[in-house]
Amino acid sequence: MYQSDYQQTRLEILGHLSSTKRAMSSSRLPCEHENNNNNDPLLQLRQVKRLTPPEYKLLKHYIEHTSRDLTVDNQDQYALQIGIPNLALESRPLMKSLLALSAVCKCSDIINQALSPRNCRKRVLSLLNFADQYHMESLREIQATLPKTKHYDHVLANAAMMGMYGSGSHCVRIWLTETASIDGFSVDEIRPRGAQWISFFRAARIAYAGLVGGIRESGSLTRTRDCSAATTLSDARSKLFNQYRPSVPTTSQGSPSAHPLYPIFAETIPSALETLNRRARGLMDLLSTDLIEDRHRPDIHACFAALQIFNDIVSVTFAVKATNSMSPSSFSDAFSDDSGIESIIQNLNVSPWIGRYTANITSMIPSNLPRRFIMALIHKAPSRYLSLVEEMIDIVQSDSDTSLNSTAPNGRWGYGKAEPSFAHQFAFDIFAHWLVLVILLEDVWWIGGIGAWELGQIVSFKRSSRSSMGLWSREGKWWPESMFDISRQFDKHSVYA
Q: Which residues are within 8 A (CB) of 35 and not within 5 positions of it... i.e. 6 or more apart?
A: 90, 151
Closest CA to 85 of 55, 109, 106: 55
**How many Å apart are CA 285 and CA 276, to the nearest integer?**
15
For 474, the 3-state DSSP assignment is coil
**How many Å apart are CA 290 and CA 278, to the nearest integer?**
20
Indicate yes or no: pTM above 0.85. no
CB 104 within 8 Å of CB 446? yes
Report pLDDT for 231. 29
Report pLDDT for 468. 58
pLDDT exceeds cutoff 70 at 483:
yes
Report pLDDT for 145. 84
Of 483 and 36, the structure prediction assigns the larger pLDDT to 483
Q: Over pLDDT 70: what percentage of the chain?
A: 69
Of 246 and 215, the structure prediction assigns the larger pLDDT to 215
Around Cβ 489, how many Cβ atoms within 10 Å?
10
Confidence of residue 467 (pLDDT cuts 50, 70, 90): low
**How many Å apart are CA 64 and CA 323, to the nearest integer?**
45
Q: What is the pLDDT of residues 76-125, one digit of tens each?
A: 889 999 999 999 988 999 999 999 999 999 999 999 887 777 778 889 99
pLDDT exceeds cutoff 80 at 435:
yes
Report pLDDT for 420. 84
Q: If you average pLDDT over residues 319-330, what whole number do you get?
A: 52
How many H helices and E strands in the chain? Answer: 22, 0
